[in-house]
Amino acid sequence: MNYLKPLLLTILIYLIVQGLGLWISHGGFGVKEGVVEKVERGEIQPVVQNPERVESSIQIFLYIIIVTIMLLFLLRYKFELIIKIFVGMAFLLGLSFTFWNLLGDIGILVAVLLLVIGIWQRKNLLVMNIILIFTVPGIGSWLGASLSLIPALVLLIILSIYDIISVFGTKHMVKLADGVKGKMPLMFTIPVEKRILGLGTGDLALPVVFSTSIIKSNYSLMNSVFAVIGGLIGLIFLFIYITKRRDITLPALPPIAAGMILGFCVSIFIYI
């Protein structure tokens, strides 16, 4: 079986999302000020007010739980229009944040244009993957610039545990993924022969959060790069494992998170 193309597509999506996240977070190469610097100067308001406190990561986790409960409720009672409006607003926020940091005010127009194209071509897997690629870095970098390293690490671990419980225990994330299938793109879709592998937006947003928090905590860009590479290795191992088995659903965040943490630890010894 030829899994090389879908594997390369998975790697490409991961690297583009993480690369964009680091670019707009750190700045450079045409981006005068990164998101981290803008948050520190007060140009952008942080998501939480106490980035150094672990309680801030708990606060963000509770936000995620509340949003998940809302989506499950809306899906159960078939409030599809409200769901589309809610998700559309989230897309517009992420797209606008990404392109505003890349292009300035004109980036807002680019974001609106992409959102319109996404609504028009919402069943086109390539179009929706592209839109998600530009949505996730914006949201992830904003969250990451709002947290110092330890709170971001705690959030990454908590959400990894939550991912395991929600897939193997309560199974509500599986229900959510099945419920939104064909209605709204909450995950990257990767064709593998006769089936589709789904990679959740959170599985790529959380690595952006963690790598951005590394920059915020005055580590070098290379420390973040090592963390990203570690996450990629975890993702590759997960892909290989899944493609050898049929009809299996596994949480993607835990191996990515483990790889990122190990990658960051390795970087500390190299760039001490």
What secondary structure letter does DSSP report for 28?
B
- Cβ pair 255, 235 in contact under 8 A: yes
Question: Are the C-beta atoms of 140 and 21 separated by less than 8 Å?
Answer: yes
pLDDT confidence of residue 102: 96
Each residue's pLDDT tens digit in the chain (272 positions)?
578 899 999 999 999 999 999 999 999 988 999 999 999 999 999 999 899 999 999 999 999 999 989 988 888 888 888 888 888 899 999 999 999 999 999 999 999 999 999 988 888 889 999 999 999 999 999 999 999 999 999 999 999 999 999 888 877 776 676 666 555 667 898 988 777 788 889 999 999 999 999 999 999 999 999 999 999 999 999 999 988 877 667 889 999 999 999 999 999 998 76
Mind listing the pLDDT tens digit for each residue in 104-151?
A: 999 999 999 999 999 888 888 899 999 999 999 999 999 999 999 999
- Domain housing 196: 4-270
d(CA 228, CA 209): 11
Query: How many domains, the chain?
Result: 1
Q: What is the predicted pLDDT for the residue at 98?
A: 98
pLDDT for residue 196: 79
What is the reported pLDDT for 183? 57
* CA atoms within a 13 Å half-sphere pointing along the CA-CB vector of 244: 6
Which pLDDT score, from 0 to 100, does residue 184 have?
60
Looking at residue 167, its pLDDT comes to 82
Q: What is the DSSP string of 209-240?
A: HHHHHHHHTT--HHHHHHHHHHHHHHHHHHHH
Rounded CA-CA distance 139/258 in Å is 21
pLDDT recorded at residue 47 = 94
Q: What is the pTM of this model?
A: 0.94
Rounded (5°) CA angle 129-134-140: 115
Q: Which residues of 11-41 are buried (b: 16+ CB within 10 A; e: fewer)?
A: eebbebbbebbbbbbbbeeebebbbbbbbee
pLDDT of residue 181: 59
